[in-house]
């Protein structure tokens, strides 16, 4: 048996000046490639931010309504400075505290009358719905509004709800301007975050 002659190692690749060339994985990428990579990452980041912004916008316009409640017309359930989150996808129901639009502003009120209900407030402030006094957890007595054209008994029209404030002294609600259209009701209060200090 004869031994095969040892094969000579292939000559190392050299650059133009004769120095050995680095393997491809160790070579620095061209500057243009790095610029494209950075630009691509920036575009992806901007797209993600745009998608997040679109999702938040959609949620605020079609799922929830958020506002800071000013005033004490819903005291003590909702107080001045509380952050209120309303759920747009749920229709208002009896005794729910709801967020609604009135004169270009967001307000709060409690549903005491549904479509078709007959509302009556006596001269001494006793509230009745369909001839029955509701079991309310209100700490302040009801009274007739000094202003407004509401005549009792008052029948709530179709597609409307009758709203009263929890604090019913010197505050405006359906006693002054009548039942509120359902299309103006944002939704029932889903969450209330109390301002610190209360």
Does the structure show a pLDDT above 70 at 5? Answer: no
- Tens-digit pLDDT profile for residues 21-66: 656 555 555 555 666 688 888 888 888 888 787 767 666 666 678 8
- Could you tell me whether strands 127-129 and 118-121 are parallel, antiparallel, or unpaired per DSSP bridges? antiparallel
Closest CA to 83 of 100, 66, 95: 66
Instruction: Give the residue with greater pLDDT, 146 vs 32.
Output: 146
CA distance 72 to 81: 9
Decide if 128 contacts 142 (C-beta within 8 A). Answer: no
- Tens-digit pLDDT profile for residues 71-112: 889 988 899 999 999 998 889 999 999 999 999 899 999 999
DSSP state of 72: S
Taking residues 151-176, report their average pLDDT. Answer: 91
Which pTM was predicted? 0.68
pLDDT in the model for residue 64: 79
């Amino acid at each position: 048996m004869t031994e095969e002659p040892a094969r000579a190692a292939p000559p190392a690749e050299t650059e133009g000046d004769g120095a050995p060339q680095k393997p491809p994985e160790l070579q620095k990428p061209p500057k243009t490639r790095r610029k494209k990579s950075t630009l691509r990452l920036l575009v992806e980041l901007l797209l993600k931010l745009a998608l997040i912004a679109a999702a938040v916008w959609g949620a605020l316009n079609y799922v929830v309504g958020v506002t800071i409640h000013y005033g004490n017309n819903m005291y003590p359930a909702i107080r001045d400075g509380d952050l209120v989150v309303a759920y747009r996808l749920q229709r208002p129901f009896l005794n729910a505290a709801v967020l609604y639009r009135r004169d270009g502003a967001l307000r709060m009120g409690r549903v005491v009358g549904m479509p078709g209900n007959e509302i009556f407030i006596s001269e001494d402030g006793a509230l009745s719905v369909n001839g029955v006094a509701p079991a309310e957890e209100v700490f302040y007595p009801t009274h007739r509004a000094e202003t407004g054209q509401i005549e009792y008994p008052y029948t709530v029209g179709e597609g409307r709800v009758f709203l009263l404030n929890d604090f019913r002294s010197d505050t405006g609600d359906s006693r002054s301007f009548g039942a509120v259209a359902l299309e103006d009701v944002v939704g029932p209060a889903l969450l209330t975050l109390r301002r610190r200090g209360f």
